[in-house]
């Protein structure tokens, strides 16, 4: 089947920009430092209330109504509650499976973070630090988490697959995004020695992860590998015919296209989508199934100013005042590039939108005007998102 899904971002793995109120009263920019600035009681209450309210059964009913058939659920490495002070969330994932199965949705479990981080992003759990792959005991810890997840959910009707690690960064993206400037580390001594993962490490880790997952999941479930931001680097890896039911996941955002020089016009976006996203996915799809596991409608043209590769006020960047973009013009922009992107993902095996929802005031807060396109529910309600 063609995957038509969304991500439950900011539910079990926090991202400050998606729900700033969660970080109120602290200077923390990521999930690692949040519990260091709150009392244990306040931290636990805040997290548990967030998890119980942010995603509920009714959201799965809505996803079904929108026309989706799958959901990608980012989870943290501490999901089993064995890495204090962080609070586990395995019960929430249990509930998500039950809800998904009721409404006929498939679940992709996405291990979104790793100890000491696999990318240095805020969504990797700790800004500016990327040392997980250099720490063998933490690599083993992640492999054990994956095996436990496979044993727990491997035979569930709702299981689509398991993704061993989200967005393990490699050299090209590490340099292009200037990670430790964009995501400044709080503790320089902890961040010392950080650097990108090598493809050699990823090839080895993915084989080891596959060997821990595959024997414990049903035959028609998938092991899904992120491309490390190098979509065309995997032909030799997938030449290994012992790998059964595997998928390559690529994340393609227009904000990154802008950072690489994409013209900020409808025609410019359409041309980039056709010549890069669609062409590359179609090429790789010829030897392995490809999904676009993260994408969205967001772009600078609809915001009314150059967002400098999707940066926000949280990145301490000075922006020019945004031009007013009328509702009619926004709809024109979003529907055109949405159609083009869906066409590109259909050259592969489908997509997961980022993200299902976020909690931002995009009306009365100038800093966030134009950021509502990250919210699939709002985009659908506004008529921006094409019927899937």
Write the pLDDT tens digit of every residue in 10-35.
Answer: 999 999 999 999 999 999 999 999 99
Question: Is 194:131 a contact under the CB 8 Å cutoff?
Answer: yes
For residue 159, what are the CA distances in angstroms to 150, 156, 245? Answer: 10, 5, 13
Q: What is the pLDDT of residue 371?
A: 87
Main-chain phi, psi angles of 265, to 5 degrees: -135, 165
Q: What is the pLDDT of residue 365?
A: 78
Average pLDDT over residues 233-244: 96
- The pLDDT of residue 311 is above 90: no
Residue bearing tokens 């035979």: 155
- The pLDDT of residue 388 is above 70: no
Q: What is the pLDDT of residue 270?
A: 98
* Domain locations in the chain as residue ranges: 3-251
As given in the structure block, the two tokens for residue 281 are 């996915």
**Is the bond preceding residue 355 a cis peptide, omega within 30 degrees?**
yes
Q: Which fold has domain 3-251?
A: TIM Barrel (3.20.20)
> Can you give the length of the chain in residues?
388
User: Strand runs (DSSP E) across 235-368, as ranges?
Assistant: 246-251, 289-294, 350-353
Residue bearing tokens 């089993």: 80
Q: What is the mean pLDDT of the chain?
A: 95
For residue 324, give every residue at least 6 positions away whose Cβ sits within 8 Å of its Cβ, in sequence order, or none: 304
- What is the C-alpha separation between 254 and 378, in angstroms, rounded? 19
Question: Is 307:255 a contact under the CB 8 Å cutoff?
Answer: yes
As given in the structure block, the two tokens for residue 45 are 């209450």
Question: How many Cα atoms sit within 13 Å of 12 on the Cβ side?
Answer: 27
- Summarize pLDDT for 256-307 with one digit per residue, the tens: 999 899 999 999 999 999 999 999 999 999 999 999 999 999 999 999 888 8
CB atoms within 10 A of CB 58: 9
Q: What is the percent of the chain where pLDDT is above 90?
A: 89
DSSP run (H or E) holding 42: helix 40-54
- What is the C-alpha separation between 107 and 292, in angstroms, rounded? 15
- What is the C-alpha separation between 318 and 295, in angstroms, rounded? 25
Question: Is 229:265 a contact under the CB 8 Å cutoff?
Answer: no
Q: What is the pLDDT of residue 310?
A: 72
- What is the C-alpha separation between 300 and 318, in angstroms, rounded? 15
Q: What is the percent of the chain where pLDDT is above 70?
A: 97
Q: What is the pLDDT of residue 136?
A: 98
For residue 184, give every residue at least 6 positions away whose Cβ sits within 8 Å of its Cβ, in sequence order, or none: 127, 128
Tell me the helix, strand and coil percentages in the chain, rounded to 5: 45, 10, 45
> Which range among 45-59, 130-144, 172-186 shows the weakest confidence by mean pLDDT?
172-186
- The pLDDT of residue 316 is above 70: no
Q: Furthest-apart CA pair in the chain: how many Å?
A: 55
- Map residue 3 onto helix, strand or coil: strand
Q: How far is CA 197 from the centre of its chain?
A: 18
Q: How far is CA 304 from the centre of its chain?
A: 25
pLDDT band at 362 (very low <50, low <70, confident <90, very high): confident
Main-chain phi, psi angles of 87, to 5 degrees: -105, 125
């Amino acid at each position: 089947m063609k995957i038509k899904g969304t991500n439950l971002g900011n539910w079990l793995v926090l991202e400050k920009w998606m729900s700033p109120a969660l970080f109120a009263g602290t200077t923390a920019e990521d999930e690692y430092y949040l519990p260091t600035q709150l009392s244990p009681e306040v931290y636990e209450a805040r997290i548990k209330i967030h998890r119980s309210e942010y995603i509920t059964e009714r959201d799965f009913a809505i996803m079904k109504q929108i026309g989706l058939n799958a959901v990608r659920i980012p989870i943290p490495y501490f999901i089993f509650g064995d890495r204090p002070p962080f609070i586990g969330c395995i019960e929430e994932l249990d509930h998500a499976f039950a809800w998904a199965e009721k409404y006929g949705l498939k679940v992709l479990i996405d291990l979104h973070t790793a100890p000491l981080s696999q990318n240095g992003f805020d969504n990797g759990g700790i800004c500016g630090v990327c040392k997980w792959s250099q720490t063998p005991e933490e690599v083993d810890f992640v492999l054990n988490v994956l095996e436990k997840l496979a044993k727990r959910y491997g035979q569930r009707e709702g299981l689509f697959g398991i993704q061993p690690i989200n967005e393990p960064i490699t050299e090209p993206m590490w340099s292009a995004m200037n990670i430790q400037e964009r995501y400044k580390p709080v503790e320089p001594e902890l961040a010392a020695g950080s650097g990108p993962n090598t493809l050699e490490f990823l090839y080895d880790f993915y084989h080891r992860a596959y060997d821990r997952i595959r024997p414990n999941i049903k035959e028609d479930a998938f092991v899904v590998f992120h491309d490390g931001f190098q979509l065309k680097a995997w032909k030799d890896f997938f030449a290994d015919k012992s790998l059964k039911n595997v998928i390559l996941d690529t994340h393609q955002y227009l904000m990154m296209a802008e950072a690489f020089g994409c013209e900020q016009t409808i025609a410019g976006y359409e041309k980039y989508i056709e010549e890069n996203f669609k062409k590359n996915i179609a090429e790789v799809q010829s030897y392995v199934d490809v999904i676009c596991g993260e994408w969205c409608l967001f772009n600078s043209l609809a915001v009314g100013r150059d967002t400098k590769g999707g940066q926000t006020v949280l990145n301490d960047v000075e922006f020019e005042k945004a031009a007013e973009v009328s509702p009619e013009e926004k709809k024109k922009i979003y529907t055109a590039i949405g159609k083009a992107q869906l066409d590109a993902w259909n050259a592969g095996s489908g997509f997961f939108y980022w993200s299902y929802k976020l909690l931002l005031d995009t009306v009365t807060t100038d800093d966030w005007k134009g950021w509502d396109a990250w919210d699939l529910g709002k985009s659908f309600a506004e008529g921006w998102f094409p019927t899937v």
